[in-house]
């Protein structure tokens, strides 16, 4: 039964797992759990707490079973995501708060646990950080399991699906995703979700094409409808016409060929056609990403966002804990260099382990963030500096300060670095005595006064994500202004050129570690502007390497010069797109 009689509708979402799939829909609509609400007799309150503890235990066993199953099917690395789930179950804050709420209110434990879990989910979901928002998904998934156990209902799963179908759901939890039979799931589309959701990671590892964030696709479909899932462009096409099917047949072939061309360069050097080698490094958030850095042959790490160690912890990690994490990365990648960035929290990234450090702020992005917060908490900052210094004894470390706005801040950070070094010397602990700090250039004032920073800085690393936001006065998290966030704005290009020129005049290496560096469209522009090094999400390395190997540096320089002459960002965008297409077309 072909669908051509119905009209075709395209729904745009987010491309989450590459590939194209076409088939009939299996609408997976989990019903909301009904949570009873009642008061527990005072003499039964001990038993209620015991019931809660038993439910946590049973849930833990369930998660271990799923983890074993996923380890068997997908390997240990994919199964690691369930460690995060077990951590939720062991979270003393979540459990303690539930019991305290219960003791205070006397309401049944499901009600108390659900209320506390919802508060946590809400708090994480509001954080403007994709990785941390995913922690909300972990808590949601685990809380649902615990509630199912408490209510004596079995948890939903997708393993009943046996016929080949496109799974369309509001959201899919990691454990639900793990129970999917690969041979039955042609594709996955969800209303909610982001590129880094754990369910998507599982889909990607099973090579199931997936699109997330379609908002309300589930309301537009019925079981048995036909859908095309385009995991490259991030769209779902309901009832595709014959023409669309034909077009997709061709696209799929071309994409498959292109993917294999991309992966074919993984082992090859990042070298332009005129023989210029480009250093490509990886951005990481956690020590377990060292494996990805190796897999994608990155020349070390260009940005390690240390705040993730702090943001997911209930209490501030001390020097020893930090040292262990930093050492694992540095020793794991030695002799390749690892750029460790000091804490960038505050503003939209509150510190759960030290809420007392922050108060309410009207403009958090312009507020008490990153180096500003560290300089006002010197003991906390020195804990981190000593941990980084100690890690430098195990390989090659570069130290980077975020959100530097001018020379005075850099000097104050360096003074604390000198104190941290003296303290380690007094303790007799080893570190790289030559280690110096480098400034991230991500505030326009730092770019304009770059010459005043250069003498004190070991290198410049441009954070385009924040630089563009602050230069254009565009809150990148605001939907209404997102379209104005433009890397090809003439002011952005001029500023990038100025930073590179200033850095080079002072003999400094200039790298880019913002998202622009991992976008193959903008890579020629950055290299043409003279950027020395690029650091990006590990999985983007092959695509970036591919364009580097397909162009001459001299051509990229001509492109940058032409881009700098443009007044309209759209023209510049058209130029970079034409440059890219010309060099990546098959042939
Ligand atoms: C940047 O601002 O470009 C950057 C790399 O830092 P973050 O995205 O962590 O703010
Ligand atoms: Mg930044």
For residue 559, the surrounding DSSP H or E stretch is: helix 553-565
Is there a domain that residue 128 lies in? yes
406, 445: one domain: yes
The finding on whether 141 has its CB within 6 A of some atom of ligand 1 is: no
The finding on whether 518 has its CB within 6 A of some atom of ligand 1 is: no
Is there a domain that residue 248 lies in? no
Is there a domain that residue 521 lies in? yes
Domain at 499, CATH number: 3.20.20.60
117, 170: one domain: no
Closest ligand 1 atom to residue 402 Cα is 6
pLDDT of residue 262: 87
Query: In angstroms, what is the span from residue 555 Cα to ligand 2's centroid?
Result: 30
Is there a domain that residue 376 lies in? yes
Query: In angstroms, what is the span from residue 464 Cα to ligand 2's centroid?
Result: 7
* Contact indicator for 185, 227 with CB cutoff of 8 Å: no
138, 191: one domain: no
The pair of structure tokens assigned to 404 is: 């530097």
Residue 112 known to be catalytic: no
433, 476: one domain: yes
Residue 198 known to be catalytic: yes
| Average pLDDT per consecutive 10 residues, the chain (587 residues; last block may be shorter) | 67 88 89 85 92 90 78 72 82 90 94 92 80 78 88 68 88 73 89 69 77 90 92 93 93 84 93 98 90 94 91 82 97 98 81 74 87 96 98 98 98 98 98 98 98 98 94 74 83 98 98 92 97 92 95 98 97 96 83
Is there a domain that residue 263 lies in? no
**Closest CA to ligand 1's atom 8:** 465
Ligand whose nearest atom lies closest to the CA of 306: 1
Tell which one of 304, 439, 513 to mutate to probe ligand 1, the residue whose CB is within 8 A of the most ligand atoms: 513
444, 299: one domain: yes
Which structural domain range is residue 92 located in? 42-151
Q: What is the DSSP string of 38-98?
A: -BPPGGGHHHHHHHHHHHHHHHHHHHHHHHHHHHHHH-HHHHTHHHHHHHHHT-HHHHHHH
Tell me how far apart the alpha carbons of residues 359 and 89 are, in angstroms, rounded to a whole number: 29
Strands (E), 234-330: 235-238, 279-284, 301-305
Tell me how far apart the alpha carbons of residues 212 and 167 are, in angstroms, rounded to a whole number: 11
Query: In angstroms, what is the span from residue 129 Cα to ligand 2's centroid?
Result: 12
Q: Which one from 112, 235, 374, 513 is the annotated catalytic residue?
A: 513
Query: In angstroms, what is the span from residue 466 Cα to ligand 2's centroid?
Result: 5
283, 144: one domain: no
Closest ligand 1 atom to residue 469 Cα is 2
Domain boundary among 85, 120, 151: 151
* Contact indicator for 115, 104 with CB cutoff of 8 Å: no
pLDDT of residue 510: 98
**Closest CA to ligand 1's atom 10:** 466
3 state SS for 146-184: HHHHHCCCCCCCCCCCCCCEEEEECCCCHHHHHCCCCCC
DSSP state of 363: S
Angle between helices 130-150 and 45-74 (to 10 degrees): 120
Domain boundary among 116, 151, 186: 151
Domain boundary among 190, 222, 240: 240
Domain at 95, CATH number: 1.10.274.10
Is there a domain that residue 340 lies in? yes
pLDDT of residue 312: 63
**Closest CA to ligand 1's atom 6:** 463
The finding on whether 305 has its CB within 6 A of some atom of ligand 1 is: yes
Is there a domain that residue 4 lies in? no
Ligand whose nearest atom lies closest to the CA of 283: 1
Torsions phi, psi for 534 (to 5 deg): -125, 140
Tell me how far apart the alpha carbons of residues 118 and 78 are, in angstroms, rounded to a whole number: 27
The finding on whether 514 has its CB within 6 A of some atom of ligand 1 is: yes
The domain total for the chain is 3
Give the residue among 187, 184, 193, 241 at the shortest CA–CA distance from 213.
Answer: 193
3 state SS for 108-141: CHHHHHHHHHHHHHHHHHCCCCHHHHHHHHHHHH
The finding on whether 442 has its CB within 6 A of some atom of ligand 1 is: yes
405, 501: one domain: yes
Closest ligand 1 atom to residue 305 Cα is 9
The finding on whether 487 has its CB within 6 A of some atom of ligand 1 is: no
The finding on whether 465 has its CB within 6 A of some atom of ligand 1 is: yes
- Which ranges constitute the DSSP H helices of 272-377? 290-295, 307-311, 319-333, 370-376
The finding on whether 108 has its CB within 6 A of some atom of ligand 1 is: no
188, 277: one domain: no
Query: In angstroms, what is the span from residue 375 Cα to ligand 1's centroid?
Result: 19
Tell me how far apart the alpha carbons of residues 96 and 116 are, in angstroms, rounded to a whole number: 10
The finding on whether 464 has its CB within 6 A of some atom of ligand 1 is: yes
The finding on whether 348 has its CB within 6 A of some atom of ligand 1 is: no
pLDDT of residue 154: 64
Closest ligand 1 atom to residue 464 Cα is 3
481, 530: one domain: yes
Query: In angstroms, what is the span from residue 148 Cα to ligand 2's centroid?
Result: 41
Give the residue among 349, 384, 400, 429 at the shortest CA–CA distance from 513.
Answer: 400
Give the residue among 304, 296, 259, 208 at the shortest CA–CA distance from 16.
Answer: 208
Token look-up 């948890």 returns 155
Angle between helices 130-150 and 109-125 (to 10 degrees): 170
146, 161: one domain: no
The pair of structure tokens assigned to 173 is: 């939890």
The answer to whether the pTM exceeds 0.75 is no
Contacts of 375 (CB under 8 A, 6+ apart): 381, 409, 412, 413, 416
The finding on whether 524 has its CB within 6 A of some atom of ligand 1 is: no
Q: Which one from 85, 198, 394, 489 is the annotated catalytic residue?
A: 198
Is there a domain that residue 254 lies in? no
Tell me how far apart the alpha carbons of residues 498 and 507 are, in angstroms, rounded to a whole number: 14
Closest ligand 1 atom to residue 463 Cα is 3
Tell which one of 440, 443, 518 to mutate to probe ligand 1, the residue whose CB is within 8 A of the most ligand atoms: 440
Query: In angstroms, what is the span from residue 440 Cα to ligand 1's centroid?
Result: 9
Query: In angstroms, what is the span from residue 345 Cα to ligand 1's centroid?
Result: 11
The finding on whether 441 has its CB within 6 A of some atom of ligand 1 is: no
46, 176: one domain: no
390, 498: one domain: yes
Tell which one of 307, 466, 534 to mutate to probe ligand 1, the residue whose CB is within 8 A of the most ligand atoms: 466
The finding on whether 513 has its CB within 6 A of some atom of ligand 1 is: yes
What is the distance between the terminal CA atoms of the chain, rounded to a whole angstrom? 38
Domain at 223, CATH number: 3.50.30.10
**Closest CA to ligand 1's atom 4:** 463
């Amino acid at each position: 039964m072909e669908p051509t009689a119905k009209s075709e509708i395209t729904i745009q979402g987010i491309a989450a797992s590459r590939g194209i799939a076409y088939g009939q829909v299996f609408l997976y609509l989990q019903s909301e759990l009904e949570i009873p609400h009642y008061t527990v007799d005072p003499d039964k309150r001990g038993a209620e707490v015991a019931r809660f503890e038993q439910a946590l235990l049973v849930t833990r066993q369930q998660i271990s079973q799923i983890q074993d199953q996923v380890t068997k099917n997908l390997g240990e690395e994919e199964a690691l995501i369930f460690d995060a789930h077990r951590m939720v179950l062991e979270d003393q804050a979540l459990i303690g708060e539930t019991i305290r709420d219960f003791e205070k209110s006397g309401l049944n434990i499901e009600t108390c646990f659900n209320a506390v879990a919802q508060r946590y989910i809400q708090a994480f979901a509001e954080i403007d950080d994709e990785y941390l928002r995913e922690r909300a998904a972990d808590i949601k998934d685990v809380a649902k399991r615990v509630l199912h156990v408490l209510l004596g209902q079995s948890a939903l799963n997708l393993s009943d699906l046996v016929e080949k179908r496109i799974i369309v759901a509001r959201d899919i939890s990691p454990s639900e995703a793990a129970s999917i039979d690969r041979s039955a799931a042609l594709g996955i589309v969800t209303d909610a979700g982001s590129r880094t959701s754990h369910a998507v990671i599982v889909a990607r590892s099973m090579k199931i094409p997936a699109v997330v964030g379609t908002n309300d696709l589930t309301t537009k479909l019925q079981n048995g409808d036909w859908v095309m899932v385009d995991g490259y462009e991030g769209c779902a096409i309901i009832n595709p016409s014959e023409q669309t099917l034909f077009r997709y047949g061709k696209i799929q072939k071309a994409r498959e060929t292109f993917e294999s061309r991309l992966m074919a360069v993984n082992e090859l050097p990042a070298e332009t056609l005129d023989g210029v080698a480009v250093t490509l490094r990886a951005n990481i958030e956690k020590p377990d990403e060292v494996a990805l850095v190796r897999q994608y042959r990155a020349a070390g790490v260009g940005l390690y966002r240390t705040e993730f160690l702090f943001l997911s912890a209930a209490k501030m990690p001390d020097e020893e804990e930090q040292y262990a994490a930093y050492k694992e990365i540095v020793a794991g990648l030695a002799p390749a260099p690892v750029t460790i960035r000091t804490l960038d929290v505050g503003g939209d990234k509150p510190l759960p382990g030290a809420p007392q450090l922050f108060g309410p702020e009207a403009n958090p992005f312009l507020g008490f963030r990153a180096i500003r917060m560290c300089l006002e908490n010197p003991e906390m900052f020195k804990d981190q500096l000593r941990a980084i210094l100690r890690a430098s004894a195990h390989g090659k470390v570069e130290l980077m300060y975020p959100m530097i706005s001018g020379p005075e801040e850099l000097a104050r950070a360096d003074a604390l670095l000198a104190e941290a070094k003296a303290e380690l010397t007094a303790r007799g602990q080893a570190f790289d005595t030559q280690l110096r700090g480098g400034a991230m250039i991500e505030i326009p004032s730092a770019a304009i006064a770059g010459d005043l920073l250069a003498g004190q800085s070991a290198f410049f690393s441009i954070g385009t994500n924040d630089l563009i936001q602050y230069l254009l006065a565009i809150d990148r998290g605001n939907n209404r202004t997102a379209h104005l966030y433009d890397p090809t704005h003439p002011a952005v290009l001029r500023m990038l050129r100025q930073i590179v020129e200033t850095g080079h005049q002072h003999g400094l290496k200039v790298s880019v570690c913002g998202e622009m560096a991992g976008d193959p469209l903008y890579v020629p522009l950055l290299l043409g502007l003279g950027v020395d090094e690029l650091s990006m999400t590990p999985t983007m390395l092959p695509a970036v390497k591919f364009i580097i190997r397909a162009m001459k540096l001299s051509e990229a320089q001509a492109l940058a010069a032409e881009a700098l002459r443009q007044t309209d960002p759209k023209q510049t965008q058209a130029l970079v797109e034409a440059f890219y297409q010309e060099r990546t077309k098959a042939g």
